[in-house]
Amino acid sequence: MNNLTSETKLTILYIFIAFAFSVAMRMIWVYQFNGYEPFMFNGQFMINTNDGYFWAEGARDILSGVSQENDRSPITLAASQLTAIFAYILPFSFESIILYMSVFLSSLIVIPIILIAKNFKNLEMGLIAALLASITVSYYNRTMVGYYDTDMLNIVFPMFFLWSIIWGINTNQNRYLIIVAIDILLYRWWYPQSYALEFSFFSLILLYTIIFDRKNLYNYKLLAIIMIAMINLDGLIRVALVLGVFYLFTQEKFQKYVFYIFGASIVAFFITGGFTPIWAHLKGYLFAKDVIVNNEGLGLHFYSVMQTVREAGEIPFEVFANRISGHSITFILSLVGYVWLAYKHRVMLFALPMIGLGFLAWYGGLRFTIYAVPILAMGIAFLITELTSKITDKKSIKYFSYFMLTLAILYPNYKHIDNYKTPTVFNVDEVKILDKLKNIADREDYVIAWWDYGYPIRYYSDVKTLSDGGKHSGSVNFVPSFILTNTQQQAAKMARLDVEYTENIFKIIKENAELEKPKKLNIFSNIEEMTKDYGFYDTNDFLLSLETDIELPKKTRDIYFYLPFKMLNIYPTVKMFSNIDLMYGNIYERPFFFMSRNYETKDNITDLGRGVSLDLNKKIVQIGSNIIPIRRFVRTAYNDKMELQVKQELMNFSSNYSVIFMKNYNTILVLDEDTFNSLYIQLMVLERYDEDLFERVLMNPHAKIYKLKI
Ligand code: MN
Supply the DSSP string of 62-98, one letter for each residue: HHH----TTS---TTSHHHHHHHHHHHHSSS-HHHHH
What are 626's strand-pairing partners? Answer: 623
**pLDDT tens-digit series, residues 88-111:** 999 999 999 999 999 999 999 999
CA of 472 to the centre of ligand 1 (A): 19
Choose among 676, 132, 223, 617: nearest CA to 414: 132
Choose among 573, 596, 568: nearest CA to 659: 596
CA of 64 to the centre of ligand 1 (A): 11
Choose among 154, 173, 155: nearest CA to 164: 173
Q: What share of the chain has pLDDT > 70, as a percent?
A: 95
Give, as one character, the DSSP assignment of residue 563: E
Q: What is the mean pLDDT of residues 499-520?
A: 91
Residue 361 above 90 pLDDT?
no
CA of 691 to the centre of ligand 1 (A): 29
CA of 71 to the centre of ligand 1 (A): 5
CA of 441 to the centre of ligand 1 (A): 11
CA of 88 to the centre of ligand 1 (A): 20
CA of 61 to the centre of ligand 1 (A): 7
At residue 362 the predicted structure's pLDDT band, cuts being 50, 70 and 90, is confident
> Measured in whole angstroms, how far is the alpha carbon of residue 97 from the centre of its chain?
19
CA of 190 to the centre of ligand 1 (A): 22
| Predicted local confidence at residue 287, as pLDDT | 52
Burial class (CB in 10 A: 0-12, 13-18, 19+), 194: buried
| Predicted local confidence at residue 194, as pLDDT | 86
At residue 282 the predicted structure's pLDDT band, cuts being 50, 70 and 90, is low
CA of 447 to the centre of ligand 1 (A): 12
CA of 148 to the centre of ligand 1 (A): 20
Q: For 245, how many CA atoms within 13 A lie in the half-sphere containing its CB? A: 28
| Predicted local confidence at residue 698, as pLDDT | 97
CA of 464 to the centre of ligand 1 (A): 7
> Measured in whole angstroms, how far is the alpha carbon of residue 444 from the centre of its chain?
26
* Pair 364, 285: CB distance under 8 Å: yes
Q: What is the mean pLDDT of residues 282-302?
A: 61
CA of 468 to the centre of ligand 1 (A): 14
- Lowest mean pLDDT across 231-235, 246-250, 348-352: 231-235
Residues 302, 614: Cα–Cα separation, whole Å: 37
Which domains does the chain carry? 6-419 (no CATH), 429-566 (3.40.1380.40), 592-708 (no CATH)
* Pair 273, 232: CB distance under 8 Å: yes
Burial class (CB in 10 A: 0-12, 13-18, 19+), 511: exposed
- Calculate the alpha carbon distances from 92 to 58, 60, 143, 429 in Å: 18, 14, 20, 24
Give, as one character, the DSSP assignment of residue 273: T
CA of 185 to the centre of ligand 1 (A): 29
Residue 312 above 90 pLDDT?
no
Burial class (CB in 10 A: 0-12, 13-18, 19+), 491: buried
| Predicted local confidence at residue 73, as pLDDT | 95
CA of 462 to the centre of ligand 1 (A): 5
CA of 563 to the centre of ligand 1 (A): 20
Residue-wise burial string across 630-651, b where 16 or more C-beta atoms lie within 10 A, e elsewhere: bbbbbebeeeeeeebeeeeeeb
CA of 437 to the centre of ligand 1 (A): 13
> Measured in whole angstroms, how far is the alpha carbon of residue 81 from the centre of its chain?
18
Strand pairing of 605-609 and 612-615? antiparallel
Q: Give the length of the chain.
A: 710
- Lowest mean pLDDT across 270-274, 282-286, 565-569: 282-286
CA of 511 to the centre of ligand 1 (A): 21
Residue 265 above 80 pLDDT?
yes
CA of 66 to the centre of ligand 1 (A): 7
CA of 505 to the centre of ligand 1 (A): 18
**pLDDT tens-digit series, residues 658-708:** 999 999 999 999 999 999 999 999 999 999 999 999 999 999 999 999 999
* Pair 215, 269: CB distance under 8 Å: no
CA of 440 to the centre of ligand 1 (A): 14
The helix or strand, by DSSP H or E, that contains position 391, with its residue range, turns out to be helix 373-391
